[in-house]
Amino acid sequence: MVNFVPVEKLKPGMVLARDLYGVDSFTSRLVMLRAGQTLTISHITKMISLDIQGVYIQESAETVAPKVVNTELKQEVLTQVKEIFDISEKTSEYLYAENIQHANDALEKLINTIVNTEHLYVDLASLRMYDDCTYNHSLGVTVLAIAIGKSLRISRKNLSELAMAALLHDIGKMQVPVDIIQKPAKLSKEEFSLVKEHPEKGYKTLSQKNLVSELVLSGIVSHHERVDGNGYPNKTSGKDIPLFGRIIACADVYDALTAQRPYRTSSKPTDAIEYIMGSSGRQFDRGVVRGFLRCISPYPVGSCVQLSNGDVAVVAEQNEANPLRPIVFLMDDPTVMIDMYADKKYYNVVITGEVEEM
Ligand SMILES: [Fe+2]
């Protein structure tokens, strides 16, 4: 249920039911806050200073869906990937086929969720449910691969294939000794060469079963290739690397960098994005990186950010070319809009972090 709530009755924690537009809605119509945004004291203070009379509030935070994937769906996908990964080599073809079909059903729901989300800003950290690295990693890579595929306008049918390839991209790791896979330290040369066999092992296992398409297999076997030809197993380069492999490579590295691992701390999403941008054209395909940048957002609209020049600002709009440099308005003077990507005066200013409360 949606209620119009006068600004003086607003409380932190309430959730916006409709987009809230900025100062001059007739000329710029810049979105100030998105529907689904949980209000903080700073948001409410800002509305008072802008003379906003009131806003539409969602009665329950559960009824709007700012999160990309709900808990049940996460659980369903994780259960399916776990079943397929744990399956024994001796398992009957019938059971194997049944597991793939179940995973397919869960993936269809996942794709529909992502395709039908108008503003998809992937927060992979919110996807993690358990400590289990492999299954969470598979889910994170799958969600991001679908989002990249959507932003590259891959057909709906091929999104299903891409999602399956992403979900199963590391299945070959089940054939690498578990103490190597889970070793909480740097791998020796010999150990690393064993790990490097996993794309081909995954390819072989699944192609023998004849249960997934050639497209899916192409993504699995090539997800560690690099566009500069320095990847593995085949040292394929550029566009000779299948598109699914190029997409999964980008999703894989982003998720791996931002994941908490026992032997190292995770990178901040902003650092991982910097890394991906910096490796565009060498490790990652430029077109795929552009697709990635269009769908990932470390600073969602409405978030309050600290700038390196000391100012505090609110994110008003994303910049697709660089999600680290959005369009913001100043907290102290909301009439000042700054395009951190295009405004030369702000080239040396960066966002240093989010501000929780003012
Ligand atoms: Fe891998």
Query: How far, in Å, is the centroid of ligand 1 from the Cα of 298?
Result: 24
What would the pLDDT profile of 126-150 be if each residue is shown by its tens digit? 555 444 567 788 888 998 999 999 9
- CB burial string 125-137: b at 16+ within 10 A, e below: eebbeeeebbbbb
Query: How far, in Å, is the centroid of ligand 1 from the Cα of 170?
Result: 5
Give the pLDDT of residue 60: 55
Query: How far, in Å, is the centroid of ligand 1 from the Cα of 304?
Result: 36
Query: How far, in Å, is the centroid of ligand 1 from the Cα of 171?
Result: 8
**Residue 61: is its pLDDT beyond 50?**
no
Query: How far, in Å, is the centroid of ligand 1 from the Cα of 199?
Result: 6
Query: How far, in Å, is the centroid of ligand 1 from the Cα of 163?
Result: 15
Average pLDDT over residues 224-249: 97
Query: How far, in Å, is the centroid of ligand 1 from the Cα of 224?
Result: 6
Between the ranges 43-57, 87-101, 145-159, where is the mean pLDDT highest?
145-159
Domain positions in the chain are 2-63, 71-295, 304-354
Query: How far, in Å, is the centroid of ligand 1 from the Cα of 39?
Result: 40
Average pLDDT over residues 200-214: 89
Between the ranges 33-42, 67-76, 301-310, where is the mean pLDDT highest?
301-310
The two tokens of residue 308 are 């390196």
Query: How far, in Å, is the centroid of ligand 1 from the Cα of 169?
Result: 6
pLDDT range class, residue 13, cuts 50, 70, 90: confident
Question: 331-339 contacts: CB < 8 A, separation 24 or more?
Answer: 331/42, 331/46, 331/304, 331/358, 334/22, 334/23, 334/46, 334/49, 334/50, 335/23, 337/22, 337/28, 337/30, 338/313
What would the pLDDT profile of 26-35 be if each residue is shown by its tens digit? 555 566 788 8
Query: How far, in Å, is the centroid of ligand 1 from the Cα of 220?
Result: 8
Strand partners, 354: 305
Query: How far, in Å, is the centroid of ligand 1 from the Cα of 152?
Result: 22
Is pTM beyond 0.95 here? no
| Stronger pLDDT, 54 or 59, i.e. the higher one | 54
Average pLDDT over residues 230-243: 97
Query: How far, in Å, is the centroid of ligand 1 from the Cα of 115?
Result: 25
Which class is 71-295 in CATH?
Answer: mainly alpha
Query: How far, in Å, is the centroid of ligand 1 from the Cα of 149?
Result: 19
Taking a C-beta distance cutoff of 8 angstroms, is the pair 139, 133 a contact?
A: no
Query: How far, in Å, is the centroid of ligand 1 from the Cα of 67?
Result: 27
Give the pLDDT of residue 302: 76
Element of type H or E holding 328: strand 327-330
Query: How far, in Å, is the centroid of ligand 1 from the Cα of 178?
Result: 14
What would the pLDDT profile of 181-206 be if each residue is shown by its tens digit? 877 788 899 999 999 999 999 999 88
Query: How far, in Å, is the centroid of ligand 1 from the Cα of 322?
Result: 27
Query: How far, in Å, is the centroid of ligand 1 from the Cα of 240?
Result: 19
Handedness of CA 232, 238, 241, 245 (dihedral sign): positive
Residue 324's nearest CA partner among 251, 286, 273, 290 is: 273
The CATH number of 2-63 is 3.90.105.10
Query: How far, in Å, is the centroid of ligand 1 from the Cα of 191?
Result: 14
| Stronger pLDDT, 79 or 219, i.e. the higher one | 219
Between the ranges 133-147, 158-172, 222-236, where is the mean pLDDT highest?
222-236
